[in-house]
Amino acid sequence: MTYGFVLTLMKLLFPFPSHKRIIMRRIDVLILGAGAAGLMCAMEAGRRGRKVLVVDHADRVGKKILISGGGRCNFTNLHCTAENFLSENPHFSRSALARFTSADMIALVERHGIAYHEKTLGQLFCDRTARDMTDLLERECAEAGVQIEVGVSIGSVRHGEQGFTVETSGGLLAASSLVVATGGLSIPKIGATGLGYDLARQFGLRIVECRPGLVPIAFDNADQEQWCDLSGTSTEVVARLGTDKWKPNSHTRRSPNFREKLLITHRGLSGPAALQISSFLTLGTTLEIDLAPGRQILHPNLLQNTSREASALLIALRAVLPARWAERWLRLSLSEPVPRQLSNAAIAALEARLHAWQVIPAGNEGYIKAEVTVGGVATDELDPRTLGSRKIPKLFFIGEVVDVTGWLGGYNFQWAWASGFCAGQIC
């Protein structure tokens, strides 16, 4: 057995060594999680002269930032408002989003000379690489005197009159403020854990049930058989919830309605339209898809030569759908045997169906593929201006761990920056 092997074994068996436990390090602000929210909070608190330590169990900071936006980090959205978020309380995010806006983030990015561009729908991406964003955050933290320690496991967390004590693999830490910025459950292979939710529960804070969001949708077996050989084909649609499922004031104020690309995968549906609507789907919810948004396709007078034959319908459908998709849709929509001539009523029914394809998903591809976690620490437990706990003084929850979940398009990072900024002003 080599010395290195024994050392690794000892670290695994005793992650919180007793000799380090005796030496207690004191800091003003301890931040758990070196992601977008944690680092933003750290640099703001550091600038105020607070002694800040950020710890993370991953081997480097901002791993999710690095994989975000296809490696280019869609770091904000020009049109970000509270309407772009799901939450039990649709107003909760308003205060933080107003205190640190997308314009503030753009100003920060520009101060660091990072080149960026608008891709679509107000989504801003780095021109070069997402690494520019982690470099920015690390530079800001260094300038604000923030200490960052990675590869640190977190053990027990206690709260007493003196503040918080946290057992870590790097020793015992004491802090007057504790900021939980450990993110959601998506992509466990790069370090996502439920630590933030466990801590919230430990301190008696309510959790809104979590589920994967911005996640590919899984078809049931029948839909898989009917559609999945068309995997890779895409078209622009409007995706929305089946009308029976929409309850105003639950999670978001407006009925969600996304006009974006929809992609058939080997398991179900993906692409921006599917990811967006997935955040609103719970088991058994009907998904409704308009395959020809804003266009009338199958009207007797609009068909070629005013023919009422299925072949004329197919030609018309190909104007809005990829050829194989159009053929499949028509075959599945027409009853057998296909009549030689379709009646006006039959054509009208097909047109209506084209604008309201009903899918009842079997589920989704889970946290392995999800970009975010919907749900989290209940907003009524937190002060919307500071993100501080209403029950435990100087305990803060920021970023994705909170029950505030953005749409696809840079909104989740904007929430991470804004919530981190607010906690950073007071922690």
Ligand X SMILES: Cc1cc2nc3c(=O)[nH]c(=O)nc-3n(C[C@H](O)[C@H](O)[C@H](O)COP(=O)(O)OP(=O)(O)OC[C@H]3O[C@@H](n4cnc5c(N)ncnc54)[C@H](O)[C@@H]3O)c2cc1C
400 lies in the site for ligand X, by CB under 6 A: yes
> Exactly one of 138, 236, 371, 403 binds ligand X (CB under 6 A); which one?
371
Q: How many residues bind ligand X (CB under 6 A)?
A: 36
Binding mask 40-59 for ligand X (x = CB under 6 A): ----------------xxx-
Residue span binding ligand X (CB under 6 A) among the ranges 132-140, 181-189, 338-346, 375-383: 181-189
Binding mask 188-227 for ligand X (x = CB under 6 A): ---xxx-x--------------------------------
For the CB of residue 181, give the shortest distance to ligand X in the complex, in Å. Answer: 5
Over the range 182-217, which residues count as b (16 or more CB within 10 Å of their CB) and which as e? bbbbbbeeebbebbbbebbeebebebbebbbbbbbb
> Exactly one of 53, 73, 141, 387 binds ligand X (CB under 6 A); which one?
73
User: Is the Cβ of residue 227 or residue 399 nearer to ligand X in the bound state?
Assistant: 399
For the CB of residue 123, give the shortest distance to ligand X in the complex, in Å. Answer: 8
Residue closest to ligand X, measured at CB: 35
> Exactly one of 410, 418, 423, 424 binds ligand X (CB under 6 A); which one?
410
For the CB of residue 109, give the shortest distance to ligand X in the complex, in Å. Answer: 13
For the CB of residue 379, give the shortest distance to ligand X in the complex, in Å. Answer: 15
User: Is the Cβ of residue 43 or residue 289 nearer to ligand X in the bound state?
Assistant: 43
Residue ranges in 123-162 that form contacts with ligand X under rule CB under 6 A: 154
74 lies in the site for ligand X, by CB under 6 A: yes
260 lies in the site for ligand X, by CB under 6 A: no
For the CB of residue 212, give the shortest distance to ligand X in the complex, in Å. Answer: 10
Structural element, H or E, at residue 149: strand 147-150
Interface contacts to ligand X, rule CB under 6 A: 32-38, 56-58, 63-64, 67-69, 73-74, 154, 181-183, 186-187, 191-193, 195, 371-372, 399-400, 410-413, 416
